[in-house]
Amino acid sequence: MLKGVTLKGLSLKGISLKGISRRRTLRGLLLALLILFLIIILGAVALPWVTPKPDLYRDYMGSQAVFAQGGELLALRPAADERYRLRLSLSDMAPAVQQATLLYEDRRFYQHIGFDPAAFGRAFWQGVIKGGRRQGASTLSMQLARMHYRLNTQHLVGKIQQIMLALYLERHLSKAEILEGYLNYAPYGANIESVGAASLIYFGKAAAELSTAEALALAVIPQNPLQRNPERSSGQQQLQLARLRLLQAWQAMYPTTRNELKRLALPLTFQGRRDLPFVAPHFVQALARQQPSGPIYSSLDWHLQQQVSQQLQAYLKQQQRLGINNASVLIVHRPSMQIKTYLGSADFFNGTIAGQVDGTAAPRSPGSALKPFVFALALQQGVIHPKTLLKDLPQRFGLFSPENFDRRFRGPISATEALVQSRNVPAVTLQAQLQHPDFYQWLNANNVPLPQAADFYGLALALGGMEISMQQLVTLYAMLGNQGVYQPLQWLANRADAVPTNTLPVDRLQIKTTATKRNVTPESAGKGNPQADGLSAVAFQGLLPEAAFLTLQMLATQPALQHERFAALTTTPQVAWKTGTSYAYRDAWTLGLYGDYVLAVWLGNFDGSSNPNLIGRNAAAPLFFSLLPLLGEQQHANQRLFTKSEQLNLKQVALCRQSYQLPNQFCPETELGWVIPGISPVAVSDVHRPVPILTENGLRACVHQPPKTALDVFEFWPSDIAALYQQAGIRLRQPPAFAEECEVRSQTQAQPPQIVSPQPHLTYLPITGQPLALQARFDGAAKQGYWFADQRFLGAVSPGETLFWPALRGSYQLSVQDDLGGVSKITLNVQ
């Protein structure tokens, strides 16, 4: 405002004499304008040299637009100020929308310096001197300055500021940056700003995909966003009229055929904010926490997401009669770790099932779903190989006595069968033998949060005595197919080839190198101090590639459920899968690897309520296998997954079929089995032993003296396994009694007894009326055992018999000796 002069109503869209005092003459007005031009020229020369480069987006509050991998819009969320505003680069906007905007708003954009004197003079002459219709004189640079700096340009001071800031922007920014800024700030009706948000809302497509007709429509909205709002019928009419006027100018600038001109003139169909999609809401919300604004190009497969959702709804409809009405599904592309399907619940909008809870991120008890990693660590530490015989029989670990799901015990069982059949006792036994890392340390190193100390969980970790999310479980299962390398989930499409810095293969190699440095043998594998070996917690991350591959092979021996669509394939594909059922039937799980994918399925209730039908194999596995056909043909990927690579330090050797140790010369049958040379616990089997038999009476001789004796082979199993065979009704062929003249019975192959209970690393508390149970494992040839405490005789037992001893407080040297001369000792602490 100049003294005595009011220019309210003077605007760059039109200049009028409204508000100008009638006493002012035209000469005074021209003088004011001259002063304005002098200020502008002075600012144009001096201002850019004393000001820093502007940051157009420092306070820019953008919306979040989430796209699927194929470009489909999953969701568009308003910015913090409740406006739809999406920042894009100029290369992400269709050329037509740029050309149409310049044609309609600023045809001399590339010729002026931010302020167009010719346009301003023309507007002044037409609107002020001649008193005609107002004409626009605002450049895109001036409009950007007004929107970015939130100027009030209804007054002269505001106009001067606008022109000065436009010159400032032109001095520091390129024309492309200014045009990009305008299109990211321009209003497009209601609370919609930026061409990126407008194209998604009105046409359901990205700005780069706008057609010429759509670009012409968007170009005319910013000049009058209130009257040309496409969400209103009256706004569409006004918009169409303006678009047709622009179309004439477009035809003059960019000549088109008559047919194309008619097509461009046809009315358009507009969508609105109510039509915005909200697909994979849990996935979108999770991404919002990671990246609150801007376009996000996710890894989600839109079509697979829709198919899985439909299949899940159909399956739950069938299970309603069993009270099963909620589930979560996560599918990950294993080589890239990209999330392809993400269903946090059966229905996000269903409050009765707490549908807005994200089941893929919620901590739940995994049941037996963690057992594969107990076995993998046991393979890695040289505790077992895939066919090692384990004992599925009642055992006590301090006060913990694990039971199997079916409350039965199956006796001697191979490690592979124990894993596939999900036997609890063998899994707990293996966890108790893990060292450096033990299972607790390994879970922590692989980003599984365990808020309590290790003693809190104890040996129940192997049975799901903790909580873990589906996302964390999937990253663990993916290691089995990724050569033991731990990698976090990837959410974005443009990170397909990224290898996280905290999961470089050096971690895996460090584990393997450590085993080599320590000269791992079956006796020493898994033992030692990690600090003394120069290890840190990161060395516990991941698995040895050999252990990962063997665990994968073990899981794949479990036959696939024959879903009708799965069975329709020419051959039954191989699937490595495992189920889990949590305590009190609260969670049913199935996870597995199939081709290039890791698939996880959970069924249950977010309130933790129990349902006896929530059993992994019965409830989750059928859904799991019904989803596999949706992943397409995986024959070649499956072949790569289950074929041993040349880099793996694995060897197939002949094993005695009865003991699964290296066969001696008396083993009747062998079969091939995988071992990790230098780590797997393989020794020559001593179950089959030759016994000299007197030919004249059939008694057992002391020594072999042919032709008086003939050798016959018998199986000498440890006492506990032999007892299990007897309980199962399997009659083991026993050697005959010794001849009377045999006073010295040489048993050079006999194994010393092994104390099973009590355990040396535990402290026992005496309980009144409950004596301590003494149990030992004897060689198959032993007939009697003797217990001692500090050389004090406690009692004699037969193999398989338990001796109960009322121990008092103190420290004891506890020993057991068999009638073959073998001795075993431990230190026992009773407090």
Residue 732 DSSP class: P
CB under 8 Å to 757, separation ≥6 — which residues? 395, 396, 773, 774, 775
Burial class of residue 647 in the structure, from the number of CB atoms within 10 Å of its CB (0-12 exposed, 13-18 middle, 19+ buried): exposed
Low-confidence ranges of the chain (pLDDT < 50): 1-23, 128, 495-535, 570, 744-748
Looking at the domain assignment, is residue 613 inside a domain? no
Q: How far apart are CA 302 and CA 653, in angstroms?
A: 47
Closest CA to 217 of 235, 250, 252, 242: 242
pLDDT for res 391? 83
N residues, the chain: 831
371 in Cβ contact with 419 (< 8 Å): yes
Looking at the domain assignment, is residue 747 inside a domain? no
pLDDT for res 3? 38
pLDDT for res 398? 67
792-797: strand order across its sheet: 763-764, 823-830, 810-818, 785-789, 792-797
369 in Cβ contact with 603 (< 8 Å): no
547 in Cβ contact with 380 (< 8 Å): yes
Pick the last residue of a domain from 509, 536, 556: 556
Burial class of residue 777 in the structure, from the number of CB atoms within 10 Å of its CB (0-12 exposed, 13-18 middle, 19+ buried): buried
Looking at the domain assignment, is residue 692 inside a domain? no
Give the 3-state secondary structure of 682-726: CCECCCEEEEEEECCCCCECCCCCCCCEEEEEEECCCHHHHHHHH
Q: How many helices (H) and strands (E) does the chain have?
A: 24, 24
Which residues form the domain of 455? 376-556
- pLDDT tens track for 729-738: 777 888 888 8
- pLDDT tens track for 375-423: 999 999 999 999 999 988 777 776 666 777 776 777 788 999 999 999 9
CATH at 782: 2.60.40.10
Q: Which two tokens stand for residue 450?
A: 């365990």
Strands (E), 758-809: 763-764, 772-777, 785-789, 792-797, 803-805
Residue type, 212: T
Helix (H) or strand (E) holding 756: strand 754-757
pLDDT for res 374? 97
pLDDT for res 412? 83
Residue 47 DSSP class: G
How confident is the prediction for the chain on average, in pLDDT? 84
CATH at 488: 3.40.710.10
Looking at the domain assignment, is residue 665 inside a domain? no
Q: How far apart are CA 84 and CA 64, in angstroms?
A: 9
Q: How far apart are CA 271 and CA 380, in angstroms?
A: 58
Classify 119 as helix, strand or coil. Answer: helix
Pair (85, 215) in one structural domain: yes
Question: Which stretches within 577-734 are classed as H helix?
Answer: 621-627, 635-641, 719-727
Q: How far apart are CA 74 and CA 66, in angstroms?
A: 5
For residue 652, report the phi and psi dihedrals to the nearest 5 degrees: -95, 125
Residue type, 242: A
Q: Please, which residues bridge with residue 343 across strands?
A: 329
Q: How far apart are CA 117 and CA 75, in angstroms?
A: 44
Pick the last residue of a domain from 205, 237, 259: 259
Looking at the domain assignment, is residue 68 inside a domain? no
Q: C-alpha distances in angstroms, 163 versus 152, 157, 464, 801?
A: 12, 10, 69, 100
pLDDT for res 155? 84
Q: How far apart are CA 500 and CA 478, in angstroms?
A: 15
Q: What number of other Cβ atoms are within 10 A of residue 483's Cβ? A: 18
- Counting the structural domains of the chain, the total is 3
Strand-strand pairing, 192-193 and 84-85: parallel
Pair (80, 229) in one structural domain: yes
Q: Which two tokens stand for residue 688?
A: 């089959």
Q: Please, which residues bridge with residue 602 across strands?
A: 328, 589
Say which residue the tokens 């431990």 belong to.
Answer: 826
CATH at 216: 1.10.3810.10
Pick the last residue of a domain from 201, 236, 259: 259
Looking at the domain assignment, is residue 518 inside a domain? yes
Looking at the domain assignment, is residue 104 inside a domain? yes
Please provide the DSSP assignment of 374-395 as one string: HHHHHHHTTS--TT-EEEES--
Q: How far apart are CA 333 and CA 595, in angstroms?
A: 9
Q: How far apart are CA 485 and CA 597, in angstroms?
A: 16
Looking at the domain assignment, is residue 804 inside a domain? yes
Q: How far apart are CA 126 and CA 124, in angstroms?
A: 6
